[in-house]
Structure 1
């Protein structure tokens, strides 16, 4: 159940970061799945971890925004969109893990506080 919820939130985070740069979250997922164990892609999505697919996605990092802006201010707009899309995609992968760690830390702190308080009452 938790794995399904984690997958849902990761998918929502990745899709919301897409915008005009739909290739960028896909590239980040492909690279993270290939070089780390944070993501394990099942078939047919495991094909994304192929080096040729990653290279193709990297080539798509060209100026997709040019069509939308007519080339005016393209370098600035494209850079800002790429950076924000990459950050949101990375955060959507990392945040579920960080939330789990923070909840574990909160549980440890609260249980420690509870047991200290309980011991103080018995003395």
Structure 2
């Protein structure tokens, strides 16, 4: 595997992970960067760099971001976004892996891109469930803001320093898993309430 391919794979994984936080924002970021010629998009997926895609992705991103600040809808969106995140992660990975043979391009996109987006989306759903359970949903706007910032920062980091984006992703996932385990242990270790 050449250095360019390794960078493209890291770019795809970083952008896919960002799709696990917010489905449409990383696609919009990729669209804008591709429109200005900073990143090439694979043949057959060049529609991702067009003006119609910019308009549709900007509307979808706005609706998605606002939806996560509406109680009840935020949890529903979190559940509905799981398959969408996997599809978006696959698509964004395939779009930056254009130098590979199509079978390798789509195989890597499905496994690495879709898989990464699915793992991150699963972590966000678990975090949101923990937030809802522990705070009755009061902390969900904070969680939504952190997810939005994570999607934006990870998208930009993946575009600027793809290898660092993957390292950041791994560290963040390890820390998130440890934190969630600690929360669930605390809830499990609590003595049962004595009925009065």
Shared fold (TM-score, shorter chain, > 0.5)? yes
Work out the number of aligned pairs and report it: 97
User: What's the offset of the Cα at 1:77?
Assistant: 4.1
Structure 2 equivalent of residue 22 of structure 1: 23
Is the 2:10–2:163 Cα contact (8 Å) retained in structure 1?
no
CA deviations on 1:84-113 (whole Å, 9 max, x unpaired) are 201100101101499xxxxxxxxxxxxxxx
Counterpart Cα distance in 2 of 1:60 and 1:10: 23
Equivalent residue for 1:49? Answer: 49
Deviation per CA, 1:15-37, whole angstroms, max 9, x where unpaired? 111224111111111100101x3
Counterpart of 1:58?
58
Equivalent pair of 2:25/2:152 in contact (CA under 8 Å): yes
Q: CA offset at residue 69 of structure 1? A: 3.3
Whether 1:7 aligns to 2:13 is: no
Q: Distance in 1 between matches of 2:49 and 2:144?
A: 26
Q: Structure 1's 52 and 34: CA in aligned 2 closer, same or farther, altered over 3 A?
A: same
Q: 1:84–1:38: structure 2 CA closer, same or farther, 3 Å change rule?
A: same
Query: 1:50 & 1:2 partners in 2: Cα distance?
Result: 28
Whether the 8 Å contact between 1:20 and 1:64 is mirrored in structure 2 is no
Output the CA distance in 2 between the equivalents of 1:29 and 1:13.
Answer: 12
Q: 1:110 — aligned with what?
A: none
- 2:153 matches 1:87: yes
Contact 2:14 2:162 in 1 (8 A): no
**Structure-2 separation of matches of 1:4 and 1:89:** 18
Residue 38 of structure 1, CA deviation: 2.5
Structure 2 alignment gaps of length 5 or more: 77-136, 165-196
Residues 48-86 of structure 1 deviation map (CA, whole Å, 9 limit, x = unaligned): 11111111000012134243336x566544433222201
Aligned to 1:38: 38
Return the TM-score normalized by structure 2: 0.43
Per the normalisation by structure 1, the TM-score is 0.66
> Greater CA radius of gyration, 1 or 2?
1
Residue 74 of structure 2: aligned partner:
68
